[in-house]
Structure 1
Amino acid sequence: MNIKDYIKPSYTFKEVYELQKLPLSVKIEISVEVLRRAFELSQHNIALAFSGGKDSQVVADLAERYLPDYFPRMLCIFGNTGIEFPESLKFARKYGFEHFGDRFHETELSRLEEDELRYDFARQIVAELEEENALGEILKPDGKLKGQKALIDAALKRGYDLNHHNCFFEGQKKTFAYCVEQYGAPLLGKATSKLDAHRINIECFLKYSASVTGKEELKEYYDILRECKFSQHCCKLLKKEPSERKQAELDVDVIVKGLMAAESRSRLTSIATRGHIFESHRPHINGDKNGFFHVNPIALWTDDDVWEYIHLHNCEYSPLYDMTYTAEDGTTQCIKRNGCIMCGTDIQFKDNHLSILRQTHPKAWESCMKHFGYADELYKLFRIKKNKYILDSFTDDGTKARMIERFGSTDRLLRDRPCAYDDMGNLVDLTGTGLENEYDAEVMISPDGQLSMI
């Protein structure tokens, strides 16, 4: 079979599974051909989306090793979210400068377009207006918040001075700390970010809006959201927006990524329905015959393929992957995934990111749980949706549940090893809430039209 025949605009799931069984040598040929097509598609600039992780590093090596005439055209965009693992950050910069030179670029955090009241102060203003029966100053007729300007005007009208203690000002960076304070902590997967809005907007919507849906399947989600401050908005603000802005700045029309169908169900679906290369639209690519292209050269690879390639060519890789931890079954494991150091999207699964972080980077874990309030939000979730059967169980999970029930999110509880918050999966019953599912980091979820209108 000709290598070009393996590259199709779409595949069935069965075809993807069969192609994943191909030997690495054939997969390399497919990937090189995909990369060649990507270079030929580009009329402006082609760039690699680089994370410092093993997958995007292998894509870089494929281009440099097998397409030496094309490689000097490739830019490298490192998505620096500001909360990278230190090992990955150091490696990304080292690899980027050594292999790309002045073609290596880092993203920069977005900055605020307007002043915003900080979350606690915004809540205080809303409460004062409710007491004064003056909510009309900040709410639309349907009960939704008019916006930050209305909140600021209400605060100034009542004689408050705006300062850094109660306000984020135009031009300030949208850091991770800003994201957690204004939107919420990245916990429980993509399902928690159905409402892509400031936390104060969400609270006003749930409390005052007449358009809150009565759909039964969303009621439990709303009940949790009223109490728990969760959000995945940091992914958009720290990763997606800065990357797309840098691509526009560099006039990129082809972006190359290290995504694989084997990583998740949603990525499998994406590869199956759109193939290795698919076209989309970007505002900065306007009027050309071709549009903007996304390219996934190693879409049909697996983790085993990536490591086989790395060892075959003796490639350097981030030392993060050599760090070990003790898994729940007692075995010693190496870190398998790169990503944001503060991410808690998989907290409902065993050996999740935060449970590993507690062992490998204890100071960062403590910062998550205490400074950024993860433990408090997880305790709220447990209090609302605790699994009553687990509480009476003699299993380890039952013991953890009773500890949380007794001690809450206190320092005493967090000092216990293993931490009771290492795995929330069996401790809370999320059935029917929409929060029981995990969503891929590349997929934006929206449950119904009216929710996205906030």
Structure 2
Amino acid sequence: MFMNFSNISKEQKKSLDYKIEVAVREIKEGFSASKHHPAIAFSGGKDSTVLWHLIKTHFPEKQYYIIFGNTGVEFPESLNFARKLGEEWGGDDFFEAQPEKLKKDELKYEAQCEVLKWLEDTKQLDLVLKKDGKLKSTGILQKVCPAEMYEDFKRRNLIWKAGTRKNYFWCADQYGYPILGKAVSGKLTARRINIDCFLKYSTSASEDPELLEYYDLLRQVKISNHCCAILKKEPSEKLQAKLMVDVIFKGLMACESQMRNLNFATRGYLFQSERPHCGDFFHCSPIAIWTDDDIWEYIHRYDVPYSPLYDIEYEDEKGRMVKIKRNGCVGCATDIAFKNNHMAALRKTHPRLWKGYMLKTGLGNEIMKLHRVKGSKISKMDYFKDAEQLGEISPCAFDDIGIVKDKTTMSEYDGDVD
């Protein structure tokens, strides 16, 4: 069933009873489309919990898997809740999808840059660059790295060791930090060193003014949303293939972001794609027309358990006591251009986690660079050299970084949340 934006808005205003009826109908359609095994994409958040409760209540005879995407950057409250509910409701049908481990040693980004600089100084760039100036492959830098330089990297801890599970820190090092939304950095699937080579050496770069402005941003700020694919999407899809899943139920709602609203308008409740392991594959979003108010009304009406994350209160910028609204990845700064962003709330609700990600990983330093490139007002960021120094003196400087919102920065918090 497809709808335009006006009809979606009308559907969102209807009663919860109507929405439950629609959800049950669409869940039935999802089960009917399955020829192998259906599954629920579960995050430990309130929306996917309600979806699971709907399926559990109205289709008790159906067999399905529950796939929890453990990204390694979950809120501790959500992680504990997901595992507890998985044991109570899911039993042997509950699975955790985790990022894969490195199969071999890899150079860290700093080491990759040093190898590239050595090649440039010794006039050997042709060993690693294509004719158009793009890097032949990321691994080639490791192949041409002199033995003595490689040993030095080992001493300086500039090697990602084989067996290391891909995590937030590996993603940030190799690709960039999740700063600004997918509309800005969602297409950056190349590793940072490849982007560096493209920006510095490539002869095939566009001359489009908007792209040139974007390139200038990339030269100065190390950003990428590819962590979402590596830590969540890829592990889940790999597990889906292993379990022969051909229908995945998702607790996505159109009201969460412009991107999800557009996706629902163009794809409907049941969207068909293809996967190598099963051929036809279906994505089912039964609660797409629901709102946050509907979710909470359902939870209270049917006494549905939910993560204690949503009961944590903090004081907003106006001095009001508010609760956490969204479950998501700790350390995600995709909405950093906006006030009351994810990281601003994290500083108040989980100060130790905020300090660890913002001040210790390099995220804060990249945000400072973004402010200096796009800053619309004078900030304390203009007077401190690094995030750790600034964070200790005035952490609120990161709550509203005051950047110009234009086509190269304008986006919303569109990570996978519920």
Which residue pairs with 1:441 in the alignment? 415
In structure 1, the partner of 2:120 is: 130
Check if 1:414 corresponds to 2:391.
yes
Equivalent positions of 1:42-441 (< 5 A) are 42-70=34-62, 73-156=63-146, 160-161=150-151, 163=154, 165-190=157-182, 191-286=184-279, 291-387=280-376, 390-391=377-378, 401=379, 403-416=380-393, 419-424=396-401, 427-432=402-407, 434-438=408-412, 440-441=414-415
C-alpha contact (below 8 Å) 1:85/1:340 kept by paired residues: yes
What is the TM-score of this pair, normalised by structure 1? 0.87
Equivalent residue letter for 2:341: N
Cα distance in structure 2, aligned partners of 1:299 and 1:409? 42
CA contact (8 A) 2:188 2:226 kept: no
Q: How far apart are the structure 1 equivalents of 2:42 and 2:332? A: 18
In the TM superposition, residue 37 of structure 1 has moved relative to its aligned partner by 1.6
Q: Read off the aligned partner of 2:216 and give its amino acid letter.
A: D
Q: Deviations over 1:175-228 (max 9, x none)?
A: 111111111111111112433111111111100111111110011111111111
Aligned residue type for 1:437: S
Looking at structure 2, the residues matched to 243 and 160 of structure 1 have their Cα atoms a distance apart, in angstroms, of 34
> What is the distance in 2 between the residues matched to 1:112 and 1:298?
37
Secondary structure, in 3 states, of the residue corresponding to 2:41?
A: strand
Q: Is the 8 A contact 2:98 2:232 kept in 1?
A: no
Pair 135,157 (structure 1): closer, same or farther in 2 beyond 3 Å: farther
Cα drift, residue 322 of structure 1: 0.2
- CA distance in 2 between counterparts of 1:105 and 1:31 reads 24
**Cα gap change, 1:79/1:262 in structure 2, threshold over 3 Å: closer, same or farther?**
same
Distance in 1 (CA, whole Å) between partners of 2:149 and 2:384 is: 41
Unmatched segments (≥5 aa) in structure 1: 1-7, 392-400, 443-454
TM-score normalised per structure 2: 0.95
CA 1:160/1:416 → structure 2, altered by over 3 Å: closer, same or farther?
Answer: closer
Secondary structure of the residue aligned to 1:281 is strand
Name the count of aligned residue pairs. Answer: 413
For 2:367 and 2:57, locate their aligned partners in 1 and report how far apart those are by CA, in whole Å: 47
8 A Cα contact 1:115 1:148, kept in partner? no
Give CA deviations for 1:344-374 in whole Å, capped at 9, x if unaligned: 1111111111001101111110111221112
Assess if the C-alpha contact under 8 Å between 1:276 and 1:296 holds in 2.
yes
Measure the CA separation in 2 of the matches of 1:412 and 1:131.
34
1:297-327 per-residue CA deviation (whole Å, 9 max, x = no partner) reads 1011100000000000111100000001111
Give the superposition deviation at 1:114: 5.0
Partner of 1:16: 8
Matches of 1:111 and 1:20, distance apart in 2: 42
- Contact 1:192/1:435 (8 A) holds in 2: no
8 Å contact 1:221–1:435 — kept in the other structure?
Answer: no
Structure 1 residue identity aligned to 2:138:
Q
Identify if the C-alpha distance between structure 1 residues 114 and 160 changes in structure 2 by more than 3 Å, giving closer, same or farther: closer
Amino acid at match of 1:253: D
Q: How far apart in 1 are the matches of 2:141 and 2:23?
A: 52
SS at match of 2:328: coil
Deviations 1:353-396 (A, max 9, x none): 10011011111101112211122111112222222xx33xxxxx
Instruction: State the Cα distance separating 1:169 from its structure 2 match.
Output: 4.4
Shift of 1:407: 2.4
Counterpart residue number, 1:448: none
- Please give the per-residue CA displacement for 1:51-80, whole angstroms capped at 9, x wherever unaligned: 00000000000011122222xx02100000
The one-letter amino acid paired with 1:54 is K
Which one-letter code corresponds to 2:295 in the other structure? V
Question: Could you tell me which of 29, 50, 64 is aligned with 1:37?
Answer: 29
- Gaps (5+ residues) in structure 2? none
CA contact (8 A) 1:266 1:439 kept: no
